[in-house]
């Protein structure tokens, strides 16, 4: 009987170790730099990247940005790139604990594309997949909200909120560039 119990314990220990390894592998698989800022800009502007411009975050704008993000913005300025009625915004927003870097392309006041450039969290990386990001295509701003509901991803709530906030901020700031 003791041999069976030891084998069962050994089997449970191996199963536990396998589960632990799988959880670790899946939790860290989302982390990484998927595309550099320069590569995103080159891709977006067909290697003809315009000179960057800056919006200073001060006065009433600082308050509006804080309302959009639901927290104070720590920077003094936001850099963007513009060619005609197309603008690109590379913005960071905290997911749960770490910043997520997003690239947002706006064409004629609508989101053309949003992409996760760098993800540093242990969970929530599913937001980088096109099945999720396609929800933002052609979204516009109504007041300070998107014109549509964005379906969440189970286990990625804070990452979804971060992407939604960044797209709202990019759309709002884009209105100040025209």
pLDDT of residue 156: 87
- Distance, CA of 92 to CA of 103 (rounded, Å): 9
The answer on 154 and 108 residing in a single domain is yes
The answer on 110 and 97 residing in a single domain is yes
Question: Does the structure show a pLDDT above 90 at 131?
Answer: yes
Question: Does the structure show a pLDDT above 70 at 141?
Answer: yes
The answer on 25 and 65 residing in a single domain is no
pLDDT of residue 112: 98
pLDDT of residue 162: 96
Mean pLDDT of the chain: 89
Q: Which two tokens stand for residue 98?
A: 């770490």
The answer on 24 and 40 residing in a single domain is no
pLDDT of residue 122: 87
The answer on 160 and 73 residing in a single domain is yes
Domain that holds residue 9: 1-30
- The per-residue pLDDT for range 22-81, each reduced to its tens digit, is 554 444 457 899 999 999 999 999 999 999 999 999 999 999 999 999 999 989 999 999
Question: Does the structure show a pLDDT above 90 at 2?
Answer: no
Q: How many CB atoms lie within 10 A of CB 79?
A: 14
The answer on 165 and 80 residing in a single domain is yes
pLDDT of residue 24: 47
- Distance, CA of 81 to CA of 87 (rounded, Å): 6
- Distance, CA of 123 to CA of 98 (rounded, Å): 11
The answer on 124 and 87 residing in a single domain is yes
The answer on 152 and 123 residing in a single domain is yes
Question: Which of 98, 94, 152, 97 is CA-nearest to residue 126?
Answer: 152
User: What secondary structure letter does DSSP report for 29?
Assistant: T
Q: What is the pTM of this model?
A: 0.82
The answer on 67 and 15 residing in a single domain is no
Pairing of the two strands 52-56 and 110-119: unpaired
Percent of the chain with pLDDT over 90: 74
Read off the pLDDT band of 3 (50, 70, 90): low
The answer on 51 and 23 residing in a single domain is no
Read off the pLDDT band of 9 (50, 70, 90): low
């Amino acid at each position: 009987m003791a041999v069976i119990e030891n084998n069962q314990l050994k089997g449970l220990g191996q199963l536990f170790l396998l589960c632990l390894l799988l959880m670790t592998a899946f939790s860290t698989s989302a982390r990484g730099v998927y595309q550099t800022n320069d590569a995103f800009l080159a891709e977006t502007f067909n290697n003809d990247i315009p000179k960057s411009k800056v919006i200073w975050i001060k006065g009433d704008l600082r308050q509006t940005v804080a309302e959009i993000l639901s927290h104070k913005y720590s920077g003094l300025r936001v850099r963007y790139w513009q060619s005609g009625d197309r603008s690109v915004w590379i913005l960071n927003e905290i997911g749960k604990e770490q910043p997520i870097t997003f690239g947002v392309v706006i064409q004629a006041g609508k989101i053309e594309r949003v992409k996760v450039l760098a993800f540093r969290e242990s969970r929530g990386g599913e937001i980088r997949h096109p099945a999720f990001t396609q929800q933002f295509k052609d979204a516009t701003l109504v007041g300070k909200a998107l014109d549509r509901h964005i379906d969440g991803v189970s286990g990625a709530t804070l990452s979804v909120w971060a992407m939604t906030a960044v797209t709202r901020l990019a759309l709002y700031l884009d209105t100040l560039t025209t």
